[in-house]
């Protein structure tokens, strides 16, 4: 680790012991959960308010110091890696729930609140927050990466669930992007501009999100298949039938094996779908029966459904641990994770061709995904010190992305661009990429907001 | 009407008889359905392709001519009024449905396709397009104003239903804003930037929208109330109960009277809710029973529901004609229409205070709205030649907007800013208004794209 740059004295005066250059803490803030090489920031700041973030940004701006926002560090595209050093703005102490508006079914929180924290806070009410990326993440981070997850097929992604944001801009201005009205036609949609901008246009400090009514009944189901193609076709037909499935997750045979080992389970080691149904008691039974019929038509081996809460929680706990279960397939490995999303009509072909690639791959490479949205992941478990393995994973990742783009899909369905998908953005967007560059240059002319992420070149 | 500016010969060469300076056609393109004073463009162009729109824009850009996009002219905030003259780009001949992707449940259309045309095209399939602003409108226009309407409480507005756009920028570049993937985290959300930009950042020439599965059963209900407050509280409790009502519309006693006269109906002349329920046959019965119970608890006078298609169509036809029915209350009048949207928890108070304002108003001023979203309209029926009436309507409109903003609402829920809400945008957005100005200046440095709309001042 190189010696840090000199930190402006005014920043130290502002934050006192909430600014640190401690090497261990800097190192902790230099990487996320992925295989992207770590690079620590020069200092880590722990602001407690929007106004303090604005002051930090102003000081950094005057001193031409890069600013990298940090939530939980649970992302996988290197978005928090401080490749140009600078000040990491860790928002974890901005973790106050500012308001729950029960009648309006929304929550107003500081950006460091996590989705688990918010849902624990809502325990005992009839409301819940739907977006579920699996790992614990802050709402600010989830908004910044336009996160989604298992519930998105039913309730939408952060794009649909953020009502408004407080954002600190590159020059320290503080803006609020929208009122709490459920809809508005009042000018440009700044909320959606900052959702998914990954901190490159400003730092999200507060988030207002939609909440949903808890369903009266929830049931889960699991169904193994002979082939991954059968499983995918079951999902496609389920979605196209208009069955309002709340979750539908695919795990291939390698993923199921990993989950069995990690969570001490004994699922059949074969491609498997996990379902969740939400609604009235009669409704969830109706949905499960309809999906069972579809799965049988596609060679489903043993459709089992349950309304037992403990069974259901065990199933989804296993799914939520899948990322760590897969990492455990190869101790010491890091993951390079693909994240393409294609129109559902192309999903079976996209996964089939990808599985053929993986058959010829020397690395452990489990596949799983939120297939109801057309989104799936391959985890390439690599030795981070092996250039050969990195090269193999990069080559296959590129093949998968190019395949998805040729199918009118996207290089990243939910993880964001970070460092990992930067090369693909111009491929995916063509001339529109230059519009993104123009917006970046306008709102961050010094290129200090999470520099070197999302856009490979700036204007 | 003043003499038109000289039209560049290269524009005439490009379009031939699809460019006109005919005064009648120019006049037709100088206003919408509202009371905003008409101002014709200098010429009207009828392009047939995105490439042709790009050429028109390039020619106008070289000649510093304003460019005003035009769909059906059915909007109500003056967005199409050519206040600075220039070339009106009428997209009505770009009305081809380019693809219906049944498996992916989306449609790819030229911007001049209307929502009625698209739904007629989908007759006989199991899919439909949900966004329903009432009047016939083009999808390009609906995207540009971030339109919503009666179905939004269930299916979302254009913001949620547009998957991607083709846009011609101010310098003639053509971009596609997104792939057909259902979700993406690949860079800035340009789709949402152009949805609601009202042609001030570029011209939308193609639109990809989500389609939904037609429900197995649809039923409608109507319920009169003693007071508007009872009706509003019924809606609030319905929404908060998580009942997935597809439509819930409020008409006050003046609106109901207008509808009765215009559509030869005999509804009780009292505040009334129109409902639509969609789902399985059992589901719609369950929903209707639940809403009937809620309405009875709030003094509903006579909840009547029907599964008969003719009854249902008569009801919604009456609702869709409501704008024209209200105009007919005062022959020769034009409407200045309010469009605030507030958090649902504030709706009863907002409507009650507004009704007190209207009691003291000398103008016919019916109130109706998409109250499930917190959005309602007052139509001030004014003599467009009377400065006094205009001033009274403007004064009350301002009171209503200021009330909504104080309740953390928005000045426009679905109509857009156009000319009519420009004064309120800085009030609503504060510093964020300047970010909108920065984006406008970046993407349209000559200020030729629908100039003088949305943003009162440009940088």
CATH value of A97-213 in 1.10.150.530, 3.30.465.10, 3.40.50.2300, 3.30.2130.10: 3.30.465.10
Quote the pLDDT of residue B3. 56
Long-range contacts of A396-402 (CB under 8 A, 24+ apart): A396/A338, A396/A357, A396/A358, A396/A361, A396/A365, A397/A336, A397/A338, A398/A423, A398/A424, A399/A357, A400/A338, A400/A340, A400/A354, A400/A357, A401/A338, A401/A340, A401/A427, A402/A427
Quote the pLDDT of residue B201. 98
Quote the pLDDT of residue B4. 62
**Mutation target vs A (from B183, B208, B417, B430; most A CBs, 10 A cutoff):** B183
Domain boundaries, chain B: 9-90, 97-213, 217-324, 332-418, 422-459
Q: Do A186 and B417 touch (CB under 8 A)?
A: yes
Query: For A181, which of B159, B201, B374 is closest by C-beta distance?
Result: B374
- Contact residues on chain B for A416, CB-CB shorter than 8 A: 185
**How many angstroms separate the Cα of B75 from the Cα of each of A161, B31, B247, B352?**
28, 9, 21, 27
CA B198 – CA B201 distance, rounded (Å): 8
CATH number of B332-418: 3.30.70.2740
Above 80 in pLDDT, residue A3? no
Q: Do A342 and B181 touch (CB under 8 A)?
A: yes
CATH value of A9-90 in 3.30.43.10, 3.30.70.1520, 3.30.1360.10, 3.30.565.10: 3.30.43.10
The tokens describing B35, both together, are 């009371």
Strand partners, A99: A108
The CA distance from B441 to the nearest CA of chain A, in Å, is 9
- Contact residues on chain B for A215, CB-CB shorter than 8 A: 242
Quote the pLDDT of residue B283. 87
Q: Do B236 and A184 touch (CB under 8 A)?
A: no
Above 90 in pLDDT, residue A242? no
Q: How many CB atoms lie within 10 A of CB B215?
A: 20
Q: Do B432 and A181 touch (CB under 8 A)?
A: no
Q: Which residue of A has its CA nearest to B241?
A: A213
Query: For A186, which of B105, B283, B421 is closest by C-beta distance?
Result: B421
Angle, alpha carbons B18-B22-B23 (nearest 5°): 145
CB A25, CB A74: distance < 8 Å: no
CATH number of A217-324: 3.30.70.2190
Quote the pLDDT of residue B2. 54
Query: For A408, which of B180, B185, B189 is closest by C-beta distance?
Result: B180
A330-417 has the same fold as A97-213:
no
The tokens describing A166, both together, are 């407080």
- Contact residues on chain A for B424, CB-CB shorter than 8 A: 186
* Chain A to chain B Cβ contacts (< 8 Å): 264
Quote the pLDDT of residue A282. 87
Per DSSP, the three-state class of B257 is helix
Q: For each successive 10 residues of chain B (459 residues), what is the average pLDDT?
A: 77 97 97 94 98 98 97 96 98 98 96 98 96 94 96 95 98 98 98 98 98 94 96 93 92 97 95 95 92 96 92 92 94 95 96 97 96 96 94 97 98 98 98 98 98 94
The CA distance from A379 to the nearest CA of chain B, in Å, is 18
CA B259 – CA B246 distance, rounded (Å): 21
**Mutation target vs B (from A130, A170, A187, A190; most B CBs, 10 A cutoff):** A187
DSSP string of B9-68? HHHHHHHGGGEE--HHHHHHTS--SBSSPP---SEEE---SHHHHHHHHHHHHHTT--EE
**How many angstroms separate the Cα of A18 from the Cα of each of A12, A72, B216?**
8, 17, 59
Q: Which residue of B has its CA nearest to A370?
A: B183
CA B285 – CA B132 distance, rounded (Å): 24
Mean local confidence (pLDDT), A405-429: 98
CB B333, CB B383: distance < 8 Å: yes
Q: Does domain A330-417 match CATH 2.40.50.140?
A: no
Quote the pLDDT of residue A240. 86
Residue B206: burial class (beta carbons within 10 Å; 0-12, 13-18, 19+): buried
- What is the pLDDT of chain A when averaged over all its residues? 96
CB B418, CB B75: distance < 8 Å: yes
Query: For B103, which of A176, A345, A439 is closest by C-beta distance?
Result: A345
Q: What is the ipTM of this complex?
A: 0.97
Predicted TM-score (pTM) of the model is 0.97
Q: Which residue of A has its CA nearest to B167?
A: A432
- Contact residues on chain B for A107, CB-CB shorter than 8 A: none
Quote the pLDDT of residue B6. 87
The tokens describing A120, both together, are 């624990």
Q: Which residue of A has its CA nearest to B176?
A: A432
């Amino acid at each position: 680790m190189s010696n840090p740059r000199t930190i402006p004295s005014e920043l130290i005066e502002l934050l006192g012991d909430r600014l640190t250059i401690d090497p261990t803490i800097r190192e902790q803030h230099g990487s996320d959960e992925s295989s992207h090489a770590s690079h620590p920031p020069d200092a880590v700041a722990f602001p407690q308010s929007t106004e303090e973030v604005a002051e930090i940004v102003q000081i950094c701006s005057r001193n031409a110091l890069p600013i990298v926002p940090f939530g939980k560090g649970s992302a996988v595209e290197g978005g928090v890696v401080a490749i140009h050093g600078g000040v990491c703005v860790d928002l974890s102490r901005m973790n106050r729930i500012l308001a729950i508006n029960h009648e309006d079914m929304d929550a107003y929180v500081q950006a460091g609140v996590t989705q688990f924290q918010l849902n624990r806070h809502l325990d005992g009410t009839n409301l819940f927050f739907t977006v579920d990326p699996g790992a614990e993440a802050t709402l600010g981070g989830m908004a910044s990466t336009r996160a989604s997850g298992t519930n998105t097929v039913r309730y939408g992604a952060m794009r649909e669930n953020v009502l408004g944001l407080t954002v600190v801009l590159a020059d320290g201005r503080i803006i609020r992007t929208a009122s709490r009205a459920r809809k508005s036609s009042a000018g440009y949609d700044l909320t959606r501009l900052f959702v998914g901008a990954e901190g490159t246009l400003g730092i999200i400090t507060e988030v207002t999100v939609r909440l949903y009514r808890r369903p009266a009944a929830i049931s889960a189901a699991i169904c193994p298949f002979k082939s991954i193609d059968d499983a995918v076709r079951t999902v496609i037909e389920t979605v196209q039938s208009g069955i309002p499935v709340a979750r539908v997750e695919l795990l291939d045979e390698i993923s199921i094996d990993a989950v069995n080992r990690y969570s001490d389970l004994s699922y059949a080691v074969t491609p498997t779908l996990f379902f969740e149904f939400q609604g009235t008691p009669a409704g969830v039974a109706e949905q499960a029966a309809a999906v069972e019929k579809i799965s049988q038509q596609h060679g489903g081996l043993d459709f089992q459904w349950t309304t037992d809460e403990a069974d259901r929680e065990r199933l989804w706990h296993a799914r939520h641990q899948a990322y760590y279960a897969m990492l455990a397939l190869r101790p010491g490995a890091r993951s390079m994770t693909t994240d393409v999303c294609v129109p559902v009509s192309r999903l079976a072909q996209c996964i089939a061709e990808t599985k053929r690639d993986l058959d010829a791959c020397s690395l452990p490479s489990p596949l799983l995904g939120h297939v109801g949205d057309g989104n799936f992941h391959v985890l390439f478990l690599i030795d981070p010190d092996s250039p050969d393995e990195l090269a193999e994973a990069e080559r296959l990742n590129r093949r998968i992305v190019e395949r998805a783009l040729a199918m009118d899909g996207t290089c990243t369905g939910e993880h964001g661009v970070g460092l990992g998908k930067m090369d693909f953005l111009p491929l995916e967007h063509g001339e529109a990429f230059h519009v993104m560059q123009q917006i970046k240059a306008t709102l961050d002319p010094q290129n200090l907001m999470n520099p070197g992420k999302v856009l490979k070149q700036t204007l």
